[in-house]
Amino acid sequence: MTIEAESPKDDRRSPRIDFRLEVTIKGRHGLETVKNFSLYGVFVHTDNPAQFEVGDEVQLTMKFPTEKKPLELKARVIHISEKGIGVEFLDLPPKDAMTIEYSFNVFKHTVPLPGE
């Protein structure tokens, strides 16, 4: 496992908002917690980030408060830290992309963006 240092350089394609949401990762036991999300990915706090490697593909299940049904999302681990994993969404169906965008737009007005 490689643990990458938090980088002062931010190459994100979209701002992230601090946001707490329970998430399950297929094949892993128990619930994890999303700590922030963007239009392209989420940071998942996990007690055992060593079980992941950069490049791993994972299946996430999470339910946004704006939705009645949980989303099943395919993602790739792109960052590992001592606190968890950063993942980017893969092959998002248009409906799921719209759901994420809608939730992001709703909650960006209720939660301060980092640095504001």
**pLDDT, tens digit (0-9, with 9 covering 90-100), for 32-60:** 999 999 999 999 999 899 999 999 999 99
The domain locations on the chain are 17-107
Which has the minimum average pLDDT: 61-65, 98-102, 106-110? 106-110
CA-CA distance, 102 to 105, in Å (whole number)? 5
Report, in this order, helix, strand and coil percent for the chain, each rounded to 5.
Answer: 15, 40, 45
Three-state DSSP state, 99: helix
Please, are residues 17 and 40 in contact by the beta-carbon 8 Å criterion? no
Q: Span 17-107: which CATH code?
A: 2.40.10.220
Query: pLDDT band for position 30 (50/70/90)?
Result: confident
- pLDDT attached to residue 106: 87
Averaged pLDDT of the chain: 84
| pLDDT higher than 70, residue 9 | no
Beta strands per DSSP E along 1-116 = 17-25, 32-37, 41-45, 57-62, 71-81, 84-90
